[in-house]
Amino acid sequence: MNAVIVANGEMQAHARLKELWLRAKLRIAADGGARNARALRIAPHSVVGDLDSLDDETRAWLEKNNCEFLRYPPAKDETDLELAVQLAQARGADEITLLGALGGRPDHFLANVLVLAQTRGLKLADAAVEMWFGSGLDVIDGKKGDLVSLLPFDARVEGVETEGLEYPLRGETLERGSTRGVSNVMLEERAQVLSTRGKLLIVHLFQ
């Protein structure tokens, strides 16, 4: 099952994001992310967190749309986003996309990347970019001219091969800190990335 979680970061009410939100079988707002959901004009099924970021108008809109409120104390070990991911997994989601998790405070963005690294089937997306950690064989759907960057998260990522990119990689090893995989270009509407060992962050920038 696919789920979409909307966080409290900066987010444009872009048509692509609205489509992702609309098509989700499960929609969750992480606390103040409910304001981003309201901008998309489609209510979440649940809102989770300490709920200290909800203004009165957004709360009334959620209540009107029969949203489930899951309140946690402000002093907790997990962030609201982590709680939302845990809720999605507990309810059967195996594909989770996070919206509103790329903009805003840099420490929050980096924390979100760490959550991404620890959670299988998780993707961060906004109007211009999507990113996720490779699963071994990954398909990238976009259009000719889109940019793709492959960033090693572990010290070494081995067996990296690509298809459908302008600068092909053939069983190469990418080392952390290397820019070898940065700013490749899609030659058609689909590309593939294979890696055999190590965590590889895949960044797809829409053009």
Look up tokens 């609201």; give the residue.
80
Predicted pLDDT of residue 124 = 94
Mean pLDDT of all residues in 111-133:
90
Look up tokens 């809720």; give the residue.
87
Over residues 91-108, the pLDDT tens digits come to: 999 999 999 988 777 888
Predicted pLDDT of residue 170 = 95
Predicted pLDDT of residue 61 = 96
Arithmetic mean of pLDDT over the chain? 93
Listed range (22-36, 98-112, 124-138, 173-187) with the worst mean pLDDT: 98-112
- Banded pLDDT at 176 (limits 50, 70, 90): very high
Sheet with 137-141, strands from edge to edge, namely 137-141, 190-194, 156-163, 172-175
- Banded pLDDT at 79 (limits 50, 70, 90): confident
- pLDDT higher than 90, residue 1: yes
Mean pLDDT of all residues in 121-130:
93
- Residue 190 DSSP code: E
Polymer length of the chain = 207
Residue 120, burial from CB neighbour count under 10 angstroms (0-12, 13-18, 19+): exposed
DSSP assignment of 117-185 equals HHSTTEEEE-SSEEEEE--SEEEEE--TT-EEEEEE-SSEEEEEEEESBSS---SEEEETT--TTSSEE
Higher pLDDT, 202 or 105: 202
User: 3-class SS at 69?
Assistant: strand
Structural domains of the chain, ranges and CATH numbers in brackets: 2-127 (3.40.50.10240), 137-205 (2.60.120.320)
Mean pLDDT of all residues in 123-147:
94
Predicted pLDDT of residue 105 = 78
Mean pLDDT of all residues in 181-206:
97
Higher pLDDT, 77 or 78: 78
For the packed helices 15-23 and 33-40, what is the interaxial angle rounded to 10 degrees?
Answer: 100
Residue 46, H or E segment: strand 46-49
Residue 28, H or E segment: strand 26-30
User: Is residue 123 within 8 Å of residue 17, measured between CB atoms?
Assistant: no
Q: What share of the chain has pLDDT > 90, as a percent? A: 74
- pLDDT higher than 90, residue 201: yes
- pLDDT higher than 90, residue 152: yes
